[in-house]
Amino acid sequence: MKRKIKLYCLSDFHLNNLLYSRLYTELEETFLKKLKKNIKNIDGIMILGDFFDEKISVDSQAAYIAIKIITEMVEILDGKPLRILKGTKTHDFNQNNIFRFLEKKNLKVINVVEEEELFPDYNVLYMPEEYPENWKEYYANFLDIDNKNESFMYDTIFMHGMVDFAAHISLVLESEKFIKSAVVFPSKVLLDTAPVTVAGHIHQAYKYKKRIFYCGSFSRFAYGEEGPKGYGILDYNLDTSEFNFERVKNIYAPNYDTIKLSEIYEEKKSIDENILEIEEYIEGRNLRLKIDLSPNEKLQSDLSVIREYFSSNKNFKLDRTNLFNLKDEEDNKNEDEEKFDYVKDKSLNLEDIICKFIAVQQPNVKLTKEEILNIITKTIV
């Protein structure tokens, strides 16, 4: 008989003082009900960092919901393991420790790197987000940094943090926070250390070489995160080390739509007609309106009215970033444009451009041109 492990993997809840009620409803419908129904076939749960989004008061409703979520998971698991990894320090802080009263029921909060034989013959490495000065020295006993081992050190790595192939994501997504002192792990090291790695931190679901998986955030919190949300299920065969990672969609995650002003605004219409058009479009969704029209007197007047009219509507955002950059674009080149002039240099190849971009935007990320070329030529899904 083949021995198999099935673990539910979640990350990046980002529970805060505003979204706790919505998050619980989504979790109950998408995850808890399925957990109860299939508990006989489930061996445990991994929460891979950023359960919290910010510091919350212990006497707040958000804290009550946080404890309610974890307590319900523990009760459903009924002695099966629940592991909670510490995420980004500016999100989780040390708040996961409030769940330690449940340790006797096989819950464990992971604040520093450690290993565990989670089940007989199933050895895992936990890597919460940490900030060592010398990561190679700090992880020397846990990672196969120089590929010295003939066999894998662990069956699975569970982590929260950045891996080199996904380092560019924090530059693109509004919701991502990259701590400059955080380690950017070489994917090769993870691949040499374990057959499969499951990670939290990046809000988009990613996989690399079919062996490193980002769960993606459980829900949607910001614009630019149009991809599916939810959680993952890891099936691991103890006899063959074969595995499968399946994603389950959170269909209740709210939409954050971004559209261009030109798609919804008509200058020939009155301001009342344009506002009505926006109101009809915004119903039941979050809408960011990006200005892509050249400014004139009527447009600027209408935009001022639109901005004031929707000022108390939390589901609407008017992105005025391009409003003045669109005017006299060629004659009024700003500093940012000059800083990225090299992008237009036809003598540079793609890896040269990316290397320069990283050097300006994320000086802590150290990647050679060869490493960048290797990353961009691989298929990332």
Q: Is the pLDDT of residue 50 over 60?
A: yes
pLDDT for 293: 87
Report strand pairing: 206-208 vs 212-214. Answer: antiparallel
- Quick one: pLDDT band at residue 226, thresholds 50, 70, 90? confident
Radius of gyration of the CA atoms of the chain, in A: 23
Q: Chain centroid to CA 380: how far?
A: 16
State mean pLDDT over 262-277. 93
- At residue 86, the pLDDT reads 98
The structural domains of the chain, ordered by start, are 4-249 (3.60.21.10), 256-319 (no CATH), 335-376 (no CATH)
Q: Pick from 262, 274, 172, 260: which is nearest to 224 by CA?
A: 172
pLDDT in tens, 51-71: 999 999 999 999 999 999 999
- pLDDT > 70? residue 2: no
Q: Give pLDDT, residue 330.
A: 37
Angle between helix 369-376 and 350-361 (nearest 10): 110
Tell whether pTM > 0.85. no
pLDDT in tens, 126-139: 999 999 999 999 99
Contacts with 368 (C-beta within 8 Å, 6 or more apart), sequence order? 355
Mean pLDDT of all residues belonging to the chain: 87
pLDDT (0 to 100) of residue 9: 98
Question: Which of residues 293 and 103 earns the better pLDDT score?
Answer: 103
Strands 230-237 and 4-10: antiparallel
